[in-house]
């Protein structure tokens, strides 16, 4: 029971709400033993519901029919029974049990349309609607799970196709480039062959990494031993400059430590931006900017768009890079503006607040508050108003 504090807190609220409704409904006063007995019965039904939600629903229906109380418990058990029922025939059977409880209570209630209407409305709010809501949410979760499994199969199929077709062709290119690298060529051609062989081997490594990511799911925010980080960006810019690109590096602010996954993602962003600039804007100046802000690194790679060229199309490289940056806790953006193409990444740095949960914790707290409102405060208010 201690494994889910939020649910335990709501369960305690259900016990308190039903007990308060019972006391409020008997203004002449109740002996303490009866109040404690009511709380014990409600708590026992909740405990039973953890392993047998349908049995707990039947007990709540019986309590509501015989004692005319326990409506908050009925809401709780109906919702969790709806979550547990796996087929609509069983949901219909549970609804039939609720109707039987309604008929039994209607037979014991004072005659008259107002009393019958109040009972019907109570069962709709506290039994039928939570039961159907729980079943709907359970079906949504099953649908999301099924879609995720289908997506996993598609990823594995695509990984196999890429490994068998593109991987084979790239491997041939790598072998031929390696043969050129050791061939007796003039010095300028030999240097070019060495660069070609290195680029081919890098392409094969990148393909294997991509295939592995497709097979194993989205990239995780884990560091890869030996992979360059943000500190290697300056050397990367120098390599592209040596190859003939008009590339420059600009840094602003004192450098700060990054998590290993974020540092490696920064290097990937810089490499992807420089590679795209060399491919789509040859001869145009390229600027790599490292702006260190409190709590974040802002990395920008921008280049002028060649005159007369059409709008660029972001490829699979940028799409995969965006997922990798997100897995490292950052965000990626790219686009064209004012005659320039800009690739931008914001990555978290290691600071005193690292590891604290901000918005997620607030969202969880808000979700619990809404649950308390829906399952305890609102039903109790309705019941007290009716009585």
pLDDT digits (tens, 9 = 90+) for 289-343: 999 988 889 999 999 888 766 545 455 467 778 888 888 888 998 888 888 899 9
DSSP 3-state of 240: helix
- For the chain, the residue count is 387
Single out the residue of 239, 139, 253, 154 nearest to residue 198, CA to CA. 239
- Continuous H helices in the chain: 5-25, 32-51, 53-67, 71-84, 88-108, 113-123, 129-164, 166-182, 187-216, 233-242, 260-280, 316-327, 359-372, 378-386
Single out the residue of 246, 235, 307 nearest to residue 270, CA to CA. 235
pLDDT of residue 59: 85
Look at domain 230-348 and name its CATH class.
alpha beta
pLDDT of residue 223: 58
How far apart are alpha carbons 312 and 193 in whole angstroms? 30
Say how many C-beta atoms besides its own lie within 10 A of residue 375's C-beta.
Answer: 20
pLDDT of residue 286: 93
Q: Are 330 and 347 in contact (CB under 8 A)?
A: yes
The whole-model pTM stands at 0.43
Q: Are 233 and 249 in contact (CB under 8 A)?
A: yes
Positions in the chain whose pLDDT score sits under 70:
1-6, 25-30, 67-69, 86-88, 105-106, 108-116, 118-119, 122, 144-156, 159-165, 167-172, 174-175, 178, 181-182, 204-205, 208-226, 308-317, 351-387
Residue 347 backbone dihedrals phi, psi, to 5 degrees: -125, 145
Q: Where are the domains of the chain?
A: 5-145+366-386, 165-216, 230-348
pLDDT of residue 354: 43
Single out the residue of 243, 237, 239 nearest to residue 273, CA to CA. 237
């Amino acid at each position: 029971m201690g494994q889910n504090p939020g649910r335990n807190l709501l369960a305690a609220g259900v016990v308190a709400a039903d007990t308060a409704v019972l006391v409020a409904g008997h203004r002449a006063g109740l002996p303490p033993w009866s109040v404690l007995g009511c709380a014990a019965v409600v708590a026992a039904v909740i405990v039973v519901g953890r392993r047998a939600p349908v049995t707990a629903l039947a007990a709540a229906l019986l309590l509501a029919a015989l004692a005319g109380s326990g409506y908050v418990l009925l809401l709780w058990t109906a919702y969790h029974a709806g979550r547990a029922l796996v087929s609509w025939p069983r949901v219909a059977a549970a609804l039939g049990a609720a109707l039987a409880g309604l008929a039994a209570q209607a037979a014991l209630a004072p005659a008259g349309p107002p009393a019958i209407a109040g009972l019907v409305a109570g069962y709709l709010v506290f039994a039928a609607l939570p039961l159907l809501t729980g079943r709907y949410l359970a079906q949504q979760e099953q649908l999301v799970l099924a879609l995720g499994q289908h997506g996993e199969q598609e990823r594995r199929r695509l990984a196999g196709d890429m490994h068998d077709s593109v991987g084979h062709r790239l491997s041939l290119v790598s072998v031929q480039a390696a043969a050129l690298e050791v061939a007796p060529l003039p010095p300028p051609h030999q240097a070019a062959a060495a660069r070609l062989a290195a680029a081919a081997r890098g392409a094969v490594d990148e393909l294997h990494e991509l295939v592995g990511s497709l097979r194993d799911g989205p990239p995780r925010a884990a560091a890869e031993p030996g992979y360059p980080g943000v500190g290697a960006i300056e050397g990367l810019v120098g390599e592209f400059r040596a190859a003939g690109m008009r590339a420059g590096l600009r840094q602003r602010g004192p450098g700060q430590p990054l998590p290993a996954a974020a540092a490696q993602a920064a290097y990937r962003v810089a490499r992807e931006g420089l590679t795209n600039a060399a491919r789509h804007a040859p001869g145009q100046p390229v600027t790599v900017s490292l702006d260190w802000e409190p709590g974040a690194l802002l990395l920008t790679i921008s280049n002028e768009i060649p005159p007369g060229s059409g709008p660029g199309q972001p490829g699979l490289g940028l799409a995969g890079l965006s997922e990798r940056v997100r897995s490292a806790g950052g965000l990626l953006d790219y686009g064209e503006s004012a005659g320039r193409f800009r690739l931008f990444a914001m990555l978290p740095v290691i600071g005193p607040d690292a590891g604290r949960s901000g918005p997620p914790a607030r969202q969880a707290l808000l979700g619990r508050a809404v649950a308390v409102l829906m399952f305890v405060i609102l039903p109790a208010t309705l019941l007290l108003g009716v009585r």
